[in-house]
C-alpha cells in the first residue's frame, strides 16, 4: 500500500495550493509585456517582408507536400496528414 499523497493532497489545503494571479501585478510585468509587443511586431514585420519560395517537404513515409518558405509552418503540414 502506498503512503504517497495524491496530487490533490499535496500542499495541504487544495484552495491554498492553487496558483493565482498576483494582484496588484509587480511593476516589471507591464514593462516586459510592452517589450514583448515591440519585439513581436518587429519579428512579424521581418517575416512578412521575406519573399516566399515554393518548396517541397518530404515526410517520413516518402510523401512530398508542396509548401512556401516563410509561410508554411510544420503545423500546416501536419494538418494535411491523413
pLDDT given at position 76? 96
Residue 64 forms part of a structural domain: yes
pLDDT given at position 49? 95
Q: Nearest 5 degrees, angle CA 67-CA 73-CA 74?
A: 100
Domain of residue 39 covers 23-79
Residue 31 forms part of a structural domain: yes
Q: How far apart are CA 55 and CA 78, in angstroms?
A: 16
Residue 73 forms part of a structural domain: yes
Low-confidence residues of the chain, pLDDT below 50?
Answer: 9
Task: Give me the number of domains the chain comprises.
Answer: 1
DSSP structural state of residue 23: S
Q: How far apart are CA 14 and CA 42, in angstroms?
A: 43
Q: Provide the CB-side half-sphere exposure for 67 (13 A, CA).
A: 20
pTM as predicted: 0.52
pLDDT given at position 72? 95
pLDDT given at position 73? 95
pLDDT given at position 23? 85
Residue 62 forms part of a structural domain: yes
pLDDT given at position 24? 87
Amino acid at each position: 500500500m502506498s503512503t504517497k499523497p495524491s496530487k490533490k493532497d499535496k500542499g495541504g489545503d487544495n484552495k491554498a495550493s492553487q496558483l493565482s494571479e498576483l494582484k496588484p501585478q509587480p511593476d516589471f510585468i507591464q514593462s516586459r509585456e510592452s517589450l514583448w509587443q515591440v519585439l513581436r511586431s518587429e519579428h512579424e514585420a521581418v517575416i512578412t517582408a521575406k519573399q516566399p519560395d515554393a518548396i517541397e517537404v518530404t515526410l517520413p513515409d516518402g510523401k512530398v507536400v508542396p509548401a512556401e518558405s516563410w509561410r508554411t509552418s510544420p503545423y500546416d503540414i501536419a494538418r494535411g496528414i491523413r
